[in-house]
Amino acid sequence: MKRREPLTNTQLLMTIAIGIFIGMYALAMAFLGGGFLKAQQFFDILNDNSFLILLGCALTIVMIGGGINISVGGVVGLTVMACALYLNGTNIENSTLSISVTLLLALGIGLAFGIGQGFLISYMEIQPFIVTLAGMFLARGLTTMLSIYPVKVTHEGFKELVKQKLQIPFLGYIAKNGNLIPAKLEIGAIVALVMLILTWYLLKHVKLGRDIYALGGNQQSALMLGINVKRSRFLSYVISGFLSGLAGFVYLLHMPAGKADTANASEMDAIAASIIGGTLLTGGVGNVFGTFFGVLILATIKKIIVLSPLNDSWWQDMASGAMLGFFILLQSIVLSTREKRKIKAADKAALQKG
């Protein structure tokens, strides 16, 4: 009989996150009932947090490589404001073309930040925290410079696109009047799920993804293996910037308006989701599917608190902080325990050979 391989650290931490989400959601269904008994509640979580799923992927990639990117929330805010202003001021009559240009604008902003920050971090060897902190301030400043007032999208073609949703009748529910209300998934959520799968494939099956894991695990070992460390780190930030720009466009699809504080502190939520999903700040360990469940855990906590008597905003922050602290402690315990077992097994094997 073939011996079963033990779970890797990445697989183990992701499995824990999935188990906690399932348990949490099941308890919510059992004790809160209401919307949690309907599939639409889960879809609403996806719809509301689709941009955060993309930001989580953006953070996971750089964190696996041993870096950090705290500019992603600022990039989302800048992208949303720039795209909203462009849509309201465009003279292009063809809606498809104007929306396509808007998407390119969003991706261009994200790539500009990704390329600029990636170059400074990878080739100029400046600390990632300092570079991306400056990027965050730059993005927030540019957003305020574009407009200090909220900008609501008035472009008719884009407003029609926002209304489009994927309807899933067999996951719907029967209303009190007897009509079937199908479950609805927004375009932004579909985009986020597709990009989640593509990012997972990149990290799992493409050489660049394996290089990023090796870089985060041990940079010196990566160099000895012939990996172009600077190039791999640079590309991880370029991809992170691309996903951040796309997250801004997806945010606009969900909420077609730009404000100076759009997606404020969302970079912290993305980092928290990545850590809860099993990504280590030290690098080398992580999985975007784990990050996806990290986003779901944070969103479910907030939804539970909203539906409970403790529906003040500070309870949400406290619960999220407590959950993040719990997962950091859990990761430390699990990884240290596994490391001790490996050392004992190695010592035992050495004694047997001796």
Q: How far is CA 282 from the centre of its chain?
A: 18
What percentage of the chain carries pLDDT values higher than 70? 96
> Which of 122, 24, 137, 23 lies closest to 67, judged by CA?
122
CB-based contact 263:251 (threshold 8 Å): yes
Q: What would the pLDDT profile of 289-319 be if each residue is shown by its tens digit? A: 999 999 999 999 988 888 777 767 778 788 8
| Strand partners for 151 | 258
The answer to whether the predicted template modeling score (pTM) of the entire model surpasses 0.75 is yes
Exposure b/e, 76-110, CB count within 10 A at least 16 = b: bbbbbbbbbbbbeebebeebeebbebbeebbbebb
Residues in the chain: 354
Q: What would the pLDDT profile of 268-279 be if each residue is shown by its tens digit? A: 999 999 999 999
Q: What would the pLDDT profile of 180-235 be if each residue is shown by its tens digit? A: 888 899 999 999 999 999 999 999 999 999 999 999 988 898 999 899 999 999 99
CB-based contact 267:240 (threshold 8 Å): no
Q: Give Rg (Cα) of the chain.
A: 22
Question: Which of the residue ranges 33-47, 169-183, 240-254 has the most confident prediction, judged by mean pLDDT?
Answer: 240-254
Q: What would the pLDDT profile of 83-110 be if each residue is shown by its tens digit? A: 999 999 998 889 999 999 999 999 999 9
**Candidates 2.60.40, 1.20.1460, 1.10.3470, 1.10.150; CATH matching 36-331:** 1.10.3470
Q: Quick one: pLDDT at residue 161?
A: 95
Residue 354: which pLDDT band, with cuts at 50, 70 and 90? low
Q: Is the confidence at residue 3, as pLDDT, over 60? A: no
Angle at CA 95, nearest 5°, toward 91 and 100? 95
What mean pLDDT do residues 227-244 have? 97
CB-based contact 234:67 (threshold 8 Å): no
Mean pLDDT of the chain: 91
Q: Is the confidence at residue 332, as pLDDT, over 60? A: yes
Name the least confident of 35-39, 265-269, 283-287.
35-39
How buried is 353 (Cβ within 10 angstroms: 0-12 exposed, 13-18 middle, 19+ buried)? Answer: exposed
Q: Is the confidence at residue 328, as pLDDT, over 60? A: yes
Q: Quick one: pLDDT at residue 9?
A: 79
Domain positions in the chain are 36-331
Residues 6+ apart with CB under 8 A from 332: none
Q: What span, in angstroms and rounded, lies between the C-alpha atoms of 229 and 235?
A: 10
Residue 11: which pLDDT band, with cuts at 50, 70 and 90? confident
Residue 1: which pLDDT band, with cuts at 50, 70 and 90? very low
What mean pLDDT do residues 167-190 have? 87
Residue 341: which pLDDT band, with cuts at 50, 70 and 90? confident
Q: How far is CA 199 from CA 74, 184, 344, in A?
A: 22, 24, 36
